[in-house]
Amino acid sequence: MRIWLSLLAFVLCSVLVGVCAGHTWASPASVARALSGDSSLHSMLLLQWRFPRVVAAALVGALLGVAGTVFQGVFRNPLAEPYLLGSAGGAALGATIALLVPIGVPQAWLLPALAFLGAWGATLLVVGVSRAAGGLDIPTLLLSGVAVAAVLAALRSFLMLALSDETVSLQVVLSWVLGGMQTPSWNGVGLLLVVAVLAIFACFRLAPGLDKLGLGEQMAAAYGLRVTRFVVLAVLVGSAAVAASVTVGGLIGFVGLAAPHIARWSVGPMHRLVVPASAAIGSGVVTLADAIARSALPPAEIPLGLITALAGGPFFLLVLARSRRW
Amino acid sequence: MVTLAAEHISVVRAGRKLLDDVCVAFASPGATAIIGPNGAGKSTLLKTLAGLLAPTSGSVIVDGRTLDTIQAAHRAAMIGYMPQQFEPHWDIQLRDLVRISCERAVGSQGRRTPDDILAAHRIEALAEQRWSTLSGGERARALLSMVLAVDPPILLADEPAASLDPGYRLELLQKIAERGKAGICVTVMHDIDLAFRFFDQIVMLDAGRVVASGHARDVYERTVLDDAFGVNFVRSRKGELRLINPGFLRGEGPCRR
């Protein structure tokens, strides 16, 4: 129980820090004032710009946390991460198309739509290629993921070379790929909240199956799990969560890899506990990283993905070195 | 009483016929040992019976229904399958392993708590231990408690206790064979001595075919046993059908095929 309270406290503190941090620091008192319906300009700015972004960051982190748990559970590999089966390449390709190809649809709609389609579509493609190439077993899925990711990356590079006539647009693409939170409207946050809650709930429902799968495929089958069907379902659910996170946050490295590990160290390896714990850890970490991204070099913003990798990598290695193997 | 039978099962994998038209009905209640030389298809038959491997032709009949028409969840509650090797991917506490195992229970099946099950197998002291910290003997007990967590009427065990010390081995085999008193127990046995000691029914495979089956007492006497293993056994008369001592190798030994 204590561990859950501390996880909750971690998320709440991160959100509070996130709301206070920015290129101007807002005191907790002024945050409270803004929340209580104050109509000063400062409060309105906080309410319309900072709050929604912090909530979005928290949700994106939670999505990455659960997706990472699902992928590590399915592939039973500690190196598995949410972008394993092509989500990242697909999302980046979709975003590149949205940013560089003149289609005539407002970019505010096109970018998230294509990023989502790219992320999820890439995983569907990987599953399809894997099935055509021999089967839906884990090694074939992984190899198909590598092949599809390579093709998608090549396509993206080609588009970037062929379509950008000015360096500005290239920079836009690069900064998206490096990860950074969009500032959504409250309506956007509402939509994200619904999607995130659904995705997290779906991942939570996968937990008993992931626990069985952790006993080995043969034992899982003997325990009544239809392994192939479950693996495909889990991969698609996990990728949908990643796609939702990519749509709002771009490619944020490392969180989906590290959050499940930290979750396992705190609540043990049972997936029904790891899923919520990893959601909380991912949520807090991304919120904090986003706070740093916004406030470290005002008025510029550091790409969020750089911060998570830069700070997360060494921290993760440290924890890894000091803890036992899972 | 539950029934289990294999009807004309053939399994072909990568062009090799692993099982060739196997027909066996298992005694119910009863404890059956499947014996045979290496590569005879013992484990393949057991996996097919467990529903883990789809036969190329033929079918497994459980309670009058073909196995592939039974829902996976129901199958898991009815058939306990004890694999030859078990290594969980995450280093899970024993209590949690048993908890996962309990979740196979369907409908009216007695839902016991993990702690009840651990106590019934007298390993409650190990509840908090992670799998990696258990000894070989403890792992064998733990695995059996997991497989039997939902008290399945059918137990299929694949060479249990193969790598255990004698004390643990005898204890484990005794527990497994006891399952044949109230339900069906089918066990792949590598050690023929122990097979005849603990099981009252024997099914003997050779090159994917059933070459002998029936009461242990009868199979014991048959020369087909010597033929399949390529050994002249000396049948001991001490006690009952207790010991089979390998006499001497004949011909070029078991590889003569």
Domains of chain B: 4-256 (3.40.50.300)
What residues 66-85 of chain A have any CB closer than 8 A to a CB of chain B?
Answer: 76
> Band of the pLDDT at B255, cuts 50, 70, 90?
very low
> Band of the pLDDT at B110, cuts 50, 70, 90?
low
Yes or no: say if A267 and A281 are a contact pair by the CB < 8 Å rule.
no
Yes or no: say if A270 and A212 are a contact pair by the CB < 8 Å rule.
no
Residue of B nearest to A226 (CA): B72
> Band of the pLDDT at A181, cuts 50, 70, 90?
confident
DSSP A77-114: -TT--TTTTSHHHHHHHHHHHHHHS--SS-HHHHHHHH
**Are the Cβ atoms of A270 and B92 closer than 8 angstroms?**
yes
Our CA-based measurement puts residue A14 at a distance from the nearest CA of chain B, in whole angstroms, of 30
Give the ipTM.
0.89
The closest of B142, B195, B167, B168 to B36, measured between CA atoms, is B195
What six digits make up the tokens of A195? 């999607």
> Band of the pLDDT at B126, cuts 50, 70, 90?
very high
The closest of B242, B208, B243, B212 to B227, measured between CA atoms, is B212
Yes or no: say if A214 and A95 are a contact pair by the CB < 8 Å rule.
no
B90 near A CB under 8 A: yes
Residue B254 reports pLDDT greater than 50? no
B171-195: average pLDDT: 92
Can you tell me the distance from the alpha carbon of B5 to that of A240, in angstroms, rounded to the nearest whole number? Answer: 44
**Are the Cβ atoms of A218 and B83 closer than 8 angstroms?**
yes
Set of chain A residues whose Cβ sits within 8 Å of the Cβ of B103: 208, 223
The pLDDT of residue A76 is: 85
B216 near A CB under 8 A: no
Q: Other C-beta atoms within 10 Å of B8: how many?
A: 12
Residue B139 reports pLDDT greater than 80? yes
A to B CB pairs, distance under 8 Å: 64
Can you tell me the distance from the alpha carbon of A175 to that of A160, in angstroms, rounded to the nearest whole number? Answer: 13
Kindly report whether the peptide bond that precedes residue A299 is cis, defined as omega within 30 degrees of 0.
Answer: yes
What residues 220-259 of chain A have any CB closer than 8 A to a CB of chain B?
Answer: 221-226
Range picked from A65-79, A168-182, A193-207, B218-232 for highest mean pLDDT: A193-207
Set of chain A residues whose Cβ sits within 8 Å of the Cβ of B87: 216
Set of chain B residues whose Cβ sits within 8 Å of the Cβ of A326: 90-91
> Band of the pLDDT at A28, cuts 50, 70, 90?
confident
Q: Other C-beta atoms within 10 Å of B107: how many?
A: 8
> Band of the pLDDT at B213, cuts 50, 70, 90?
very high
CA angle A312, A316, A319 (to 5 degrees): 145
Residue A282 reports pLDDT greater than 70? yes
Of A253-257, B18-22, B103-107, least confident by mean pLDDT is B103-107
Considering CB atoms only, which of B76, B87, B92 is closest to A224? B76
Can you tell me the distance from the alpha carbon of A22 to that of A197, in angstroms, rounded to the nearest whole number? Answer: 27
Task: Please report, rounded to a whole number, the percentage of residues in chain A having pLDDT higher than 70.
Answer: 98
B152 near A CB under 8 A: no
The pLDDT of residue A79 is: 77
What six digits make up the tokens of B118? 């651990």
Q: Which residues contact B48 (CB under 8 A, 6 or more apart)?
A: B6, B9, B11, B19, B54, B55, B60
**Are the Cβ atoms of A214 and B103 closer than 8 angstroms?**
no
At A206-245, the pLDDT tens digits run: 999 999 999 999 999 999 999 989 998 998 899 889 888 8
Q: Where are the domains of chain A?
A: 82-208+232-247, 252-326
Set of chain B residues whose Cβ sits within 8 Å of the Cβ of A215: 86, 88-89, 97, 100
Residue of A nearest to B147 (CA): A223
Task: Please report, rounded to a whole number, the percentage of residues in chain B having pLDDT higher than 90.
Answer: 61
Yes or no: say if B195 and B9 are a contact pair by the CB < 8 Å rule.
no
Set of chain A residues whose Cβ sits within 8 Å of the Cβ of B88: 214-216
Can you tell me the distance from the alpha carbon of A172 to that of A224, in angstroms, rounded to the nearest whole number? Answer: 49
Q: Is B153 exposed, middle or buried (0-12, 13-18, 19+ CB in 10 A)?
A: buried
Residue A254 reports pLDDT greater than 60? yes
Can you tell me the distance from the alpha carbon of B199 to that of B178, in angstroms, rounded to the nearest whole number? Answer: 9
**β-strand pairing of B79-82 with B209-215:** unpaired
pLDDT: which is higher, A119 or A284: A284
Query: What 3-state class would DSSP assign to A261?
Result: helix
> Band of the pLDDT at B142, cuts 50, 70, 90?
very high
Output the CA–CA distances (angstroms, integers) from residue B144 to A67, A80, A216, B155, B242, in the order listed: 33, 31, 16, 10, 26
> Band of the pLDDT at B256, cuts 50, 70, 90?
very low
CATH architecture of A82-208+232-247: Orthogonal Bundle (1.10)
Set of chain A residues whose Cβ sits within 8 Å of the Cβ of B75: 224
A75-85: average pLDDT: 80
The pLDDT of residue A127 is: 87
The pLDDT of residue A325 is: 52
Set of chain B residues whose Cβ sits within 8 Å of the Cβ of A229: none
B143 near A CB under 8 A: no
Amino acid at B23: C
Three-state secondary structure readout of A215-247: CCHHHHHHCCCCHHHHHHHHHHHHHHHHHHHHH
A208 near B CB under 8 A: yes
What residues 68-87 of chain B have any CB closer than 8 A to a CB of chain A?
Answer: 71-77, 79-81, 83, 86-87
The pLDDT of residue A46 is: 81
The pLDDT of residue A324 is: 55
What are the strands, taking DSSP E only, across B175-230?
A: 184-188, 201-206, 209-215
Can you tell me the distance from the alpha carbon of B129 to that of B93, in angstroms, rounded to the nearest whole number? Answer: 5
Yes or no: say if B46 and B18 are a contact pair by the CB < 8 Å rule.
no
- DSSP label at residue A49: I
Of A23-37, A142-156, B44-58, least confident by mean pLDDT is A23-37
Q: Other C-beta atoms within 10 Å of B149: how many?
A: 27
Can you tell me the distance from the alpha carbon of B70 to that of A224, in angstroms, rounded to the nearest whole number? Answer: 11
At A91-108, the pLDDT tens digits run: 889 888 888 887 777 877
Range picked from A83-97, A158-172, A224-238 for highest mean pLDDT: A224-238
Yes or no: say if A104 and A95 are a contact pair by the CB < 8 Å rule.
no
The pLDDT of residue B252 is: 47
CA angle A272, A273, A279 (to 5 degrees): 100
B16-36: average pLDDT: 92
B123 near A CB under 8 A: no
Residue A195 reports pLDDT greater than 80? yes
